[in-house]
Structure 1
Amino acid sequence: MLLTSIYAGVLALVFLVLSIRVIQGRSAAGVSLGDGGDGRLNRRIRAHANFAEYVPICLGLVALLEVGGAPTWLLHTLGIALVIGRIGHGYALAFAEHFPPGRMVGTLLTFLVLLIGALGCLLLPFLSV
């Protein structure tokens, strides 16, 4: 699972940046729990939470495909798409004032990784026979 570990490491760093962004927002807003009605802080919290909701399952699917012997090009394609998607989505919510296209593109790329990963995990056992 060496390839998956590369993408897990990169994504862990992105998660750290999003975590720090929430901490900075809470400090600036004087809020220790929740968003205190602050829309900017709410976006940061949602960027962080959304990352935590999608990345583990996507990485798990990629790891299962890697263990199952999926082609290297597929693993890299899914990993790169996930990294680009999560950075785009996270930037759009946690750093930008408005919701630029990064949010939509990030969501689309993440869903494609989820879909292709799920289909790959369903089909790989039949292709490896």
Structure 2
Amino acid sequence: MTITPLYAGALAILFLALSYRVVQQRGHGVSLGDGGDQELLRRIRGHGNFAEYVPLILLLLAMLETGGATPPWLLHLLGATLLLARLLHGIALSYTQKWKFGRFWGTALTFLLLLVTGLLCLWRGIAALLV
């Protein structure tokens, strides 16, 4: 596997940045939960949303890569789109208050990737059963 680790590594660095943003805001006195701090809540959700979607999509991408039937250009397209989607969404939630473009397109692309990678894996699984 050579393609998935490229995007997993880049996404890990983005996750670290989102994690740091939460820890940085917690330095203002809230050690658990959000304490009613709207800035902290946004940062927590940016971090949490990343943690909710990225691992599954990376796992699906890795399964597609290890099977060998998915062309490398498609794997790169999926990985790059995931990175773009999570950058847009992460910036929108953790770094800004109302960047609707980033939040909308980050979410839309993430959902599209979840659908496409899910369908591709399902197709591979069904095709393997029929052989």
Gaps of 5+ in 1: none
- Over 3 Å off, 4+ runs: none
Identity of aligned residues (%): 55
Match of 1:114 in 2: 114
Indicate whether 1:78 and 2:70 are aligned.
Answer: no
Secondary structure in 2 matching 1:115:
helix
Letter in 2 for 1:75: L
Gaps of 5+ in 2: none
Match of 2:17 in 1: 17
Indicate whether 1:91 and 2:91 are aligned.
Answer: yes
* Aligned CA-pair RMSD: 1.4
Deviations 1:107-129 (A, max 9, x none): 11111111110000011241795
Deviations 1:77-101 (A, max 9, x none): 1101100000100000000122331
**1:2 positional shift:** 1.0
Deviations 1:46-105 (A, max 9, x none): 000000000000000000000111111110111011000001000000001223310110
Match of 1:100 in 2: 100
TM-score normalised over the length of structure 1: 0.94
Indicate whether 1:32 and 2:31 are aligned.
Answer: yes
Letter in 2 for 1:72: P
TM-score normalised over the length of structure 2: 0.93
Partners of 2:112 and 2:97 in 1: CA distance: 26
Partners of 1:93 and 1:111 in 2: CA distance: 17
Partners of 1:47 and 1:101 in 2: CA distance: 15
Letter in 1 for 2:60: L
